[in-house]
Amino acid sequence: MDKLNNKGISRRLIVVFPDYMLGKNDLAQEVYWMAEREELSVLYLVLVDETNNMLSVSRNMATMKAVTSGNKLLVEGKIVEFSNWFDILKQTANPTDIILCQEEQTIIDDSFKTIPIKDYLSNHLTSPVRTISGYYLSKKTRQEKWFPETFAWFGFLIILAVFTWMQISLDQALEGSLSTITLAFTVLVEGGVIWYWYKFSYQ
């Protein structure tokens, strides 16, 4: 976890986002152009559910910082847990800083209503709040995306297992040119089935 160094920093772009977005280089590039254009330094405030994958998060953080800096910008990072992220943000942010969050991201407010995180931050902080879109996936959306991909890979594994078993059985039962021709035919059929499953799964 990087230590904040506020010396010499007049204005910062504080980017608030969950840890699963750390690998998005296109997000890092957009942050770079925004900060470079307005002569801002960058502070990534990364929200994590749990700390047991901190090594992976820290490694991804280092990569994203390198992409963002472009050897021109001062880029720092701070990893915080969801349970106290807002308190840390409130302690860290200065009125001259700009808070950048995801337009699609929501939060449960004090009255237990789900509202856009931009509205919550604007109501509770004096720093100006901006949003960007196109990078954030809600937990529900990530689950919806994860299931069909897992289903597709499961299907690929079943196809490979069935055809491998069939080819081994045929190789043991047949001999000579008949075995070669039959195996070649099953390989062609296997390729066709895999292609059909691919089209069906990712259409």
Which helix (H) or strand (E) element contains residue 103?
Answer: none
Residue 193 has pLDDT above 70, yes or no: yes
pTM of the entire predicted model: 0.61
Residue 176 has pLDDT above 70, yes or no: yes
pLDDT score, position 147: 52
Give the C-alpha separation, 179 to 168, whole Å: 10
pLDDT band at 162 (very low <50, low <70, confident <90, very high): confident
Cβ neighbours, 10 Å, residue 19: 20
With a pLDDT cut of 70, the percent of the chain lying above it is 79
* 190 Cβ contact list (under 8 Å, min separation 6): 159, 160, 163
pLDDT band at 145 (very low <50, low <70, confident <90, very high): very low
Helices 176-202, 139-173: inter-axial angle, 10-degree rounding: 170
pLDDT band at 6 (very low <50, low <70, confident <90, very high): very low
The mean pLDDT of the chain is 79
Least confident of 46-50, 65-69, 116-120: 46-50
Give the C-alpha separation, 43 to 98, whole Å: 10
Strands 98-102 and 106-108, by their bridges, are unpaired
pLDDT band at 140 (very low <50, low <70, confident <90, very high): very low
Cβ neighbours, 10 Å, residue 95: 9
pLDDT band at 103 (very low <50, low <70, confident <90, very high): confident
Give the C-alpha separation, 105 to 95, whole Å: 22
Residue 106 has pLDDT above 60, yes or no: yes
Residue bearing the bigger pLDDT, 194 or 91: 91
Give the C-alpha separation, 134 to 140, whole Å: 16
